Amino acid sequence: MKQIFEELHLLPVLDNFKHRGHSLSKLIIGMVSYKMTENHSTIKCHQWMNNNPFLLTELQLDSFGKDVLYRGMGKIGENIHSILYHILQVLKNEYDVGLDMVFIDWTSIHFEAKISDLIKYGKSRDHQPDRPQVTIGLALDERSKLPVGLTIQPGNVNDQTHFKKTFNQIKSGLRTGSCLIFDAGASGDPNFDLIVANKMKYLTRMKLNQSDVQKHLNTFDKEEWMRVVTGKKDEEIYGKKIVFPSRTKYLYFSQNLYDDVISNRRKRLEKEYDEAMELQNTIQSKKKPRKKYRNSNHFLLTHLSFTFPLTGLSRKEAIDNAFKQSITGKEGFFELVSIKNFSLHEALNFYREKDGVEKLINSIKNEIHLRPTRVWTPEEIDGSILIAFLAQLVISMLRFKHKSLRRISTKFIIQSLKNFALTIIIGKNGMKRRVLSNFDWINTLIFCQKDPG
């Protein structure tokens, strides 16, 4: 951890934010290390550091109170923009991270806390709609696969609004002609205009409208559309490119997507039919419907009525009828839009590479373990999320430096580092002997800069 921090020139930057007491850079190195090992609470991190005198010696720290870590977390939270700007410039100038193409995506983390100026209710990506949250934006460089941006906004901020914050945070590292790739949630003319005004380009997914259905999808013919070669066996995709003065539209039909949509829709209708029959039998038996079908508020009196337009139809006939009515003509189709003139193959390939930032989000949330977040002030929340971001940056830097690690998941890299053991044997004369053990090919590559053997 110290080595990566030194390579990124983070030590003097962090120490510049705290001039008295314990070195802020050493405290943050300890907290990021803990994030990649035990990863419990800040109090547990305090115990982990203070109960190991050799660790304190390595970090050149004296014993300290638990409040020191909270203050340190708040301090880097206060200065998060300066820290991220510094990292971006180092990656650009010393690691040749060109940012010619950048993937952007947004997520959220929930809290077991009361709402505040930052912690708000909003669309939950954690499947916890009953919990307040904050939203997080992440940017990933396409070529190096290094995270280059982080933004933190209140939990009720949507992707379209959050996009501006993320874009402005990484703008200093972008070049004229850089291409930003993001999902449909952030698509819209205001964001497109912002990108174009800064002489950059975009590639994004757009929702299909009724005009697309009438003009192109209803007349779809595999013989007329171009077959797109994706390199995946048995994948059948056809594309149509439509050039406008201000942008280019890429329409695609995926046979696999069509088959999945049709199959899943029929399964859902079968489930809904069985639920409807169960509800009808319940009402005919003069029993109370399940809680999901009625109002459970003790202070509201409601009268509910249900209509069952299925009389005279068999189960198959009813489902077939509902299935025909559910067809929109959009099944199996999707649309990409760009100001850059890609080929059909390039547009699809680059957009699919966006799953790199989705994997980055999954890694931070489920392998670095962004949660638990047991801090509540805006500065400490920013600092806590920044520590997880720095832990992920260290893992990404190791992959960048060692090609053999490019396809190794964060989980296995961390496990290898945790398996490595240092045993310190103190003799009667006070002499210390260090024994290194539990080498495998991953930690050997990281520590020794070469493959085992």
DSSP state of 312: T
What gap in Å lies between CA 128 and CA 131, rounded to an integer?
A: 6
pLDDT at 357 over 90: yes
Residue 450 neighbours by CB under 8 Å, 6+ apart: 444
Least confident among 181-190, 333-342, 365-374:
365-374
Q: What percent of the chain has pLDDT over 90?
A: 70
Q: For all residues of the chain together, what is the average pLDDT?
A: 91
pLDDT at 306: 67
Distances 365 to 79, 145, 238, 385, 406 between C-alpha atoms, Å: 23, 17, 35, 10, 19
Mean pLDDT of 183-205: 95
pLDDT at 304: 64
Residues 401-443 have pLDDT tens digits of: 999 999 999 999 999 999 989 898 989 898 989 899 999 999 9
Mean pLDDT of 154-161: 95
Name the 3-class secondary structure at 425.
Answer: strand
pLDDT at 330 over 70: yes
What gap in Å lies between CA 369 and CA 39, rounded to an integer?
A: 7
pLDDT at 295: 72
Pick the closest to residue 241 from 225, 256, 218, 254 (CA basis): 225
Mean pLDDT of 28-50: 91
pLDDT at 405: 93
Q: Is the pTM of this model over 0.75?
A: yes
Burial zone of 77 (CB within 10 Å; 0-12 exposed, 13-18 middle, 19+ buried): buried
Pick the closest to residue 375 from 76, 70, 99, 134 (CA basis): 70
pLDDT at 161 over 60: yes
pLDDT at 300 over 90: no
What confidence category does residue 39 fall into, taking pLDDT thresholds of 50, 70 and 90? Answer: confident
pLDDT at 453: 55
Burial zone of 135 (CB within 10 Å; 0-12 exposed, 13-18 middle, 19+ buried): buried
pLDDT at 130: 86
Residues 368-385 have pLDDT tens digits of: 988 877 888 999 999 999
DSSP string, 53-70: HHHHHHHT-----HHHHH
What gap in Å lies between CA 385 and CA 373, rounded to an integer?
A: 8
Pick the closest to residue 198 from 107, 106, 99, 80 (CA basis): 99
pLDDT at 342: 94
What gap in Å lies between CA 350 and CA 250, rounded to an integer?
A: 13
What gap in Å lies between CA 209 and CA 223, rounded to an integer?
A: 23
